[in-house]
Amino acid sequence: MSQPLCVFCRRHPIEQLWRPFCSERCKLQDLARWAEGAYRVAAEPVCDTDESDDESQKAEG
């Protein structure tokens, strides 16, 4: 059975220390992509807070 590959670079086998990555470098590059917003979860857009504030003020007034 072959060893699983790094989830980031897909070239090197996984190292137990950095699992599921092959190295700290791949781990940090993946984290940077998350921080930049490169990975996104598909979902409906969240409504603007300005619109919801206007609606709540109308309901109160």
> Tens digits of per-residue pLDDT, 15-39?
999 999 999 999 999 999 999 999 8
Residue 20 token pair:
């599921």
Query: Is the pLDDT confidence value at 48 over 90?
Result: no
At 42 the pLDDT is 86
Higher-scoring residue by pLDDT: 1, 35? 35
Distances (CA, A) of 2 to 10, 14, 20, 59: 13, 11, 15, 63
Q: Return phi, psi of residue 21, to 5°.
A: -105, 170
Beta bridge partners of 13: 5
Supply φ then ψ for residue 5, to 5 degrees.
Answer: -95, 160
Architecture of the domain defined by 1-56: 2-Layer Sandwich (3.30)
Q: Are 14 and 5 in contact (CB under 8 A)?
A: yes
Higher per-residue pLDDT: 47 or 28: 28
Domain edges within the chain: 1-56
**pLDDT interval class at 53 (50, 70, 90):** low
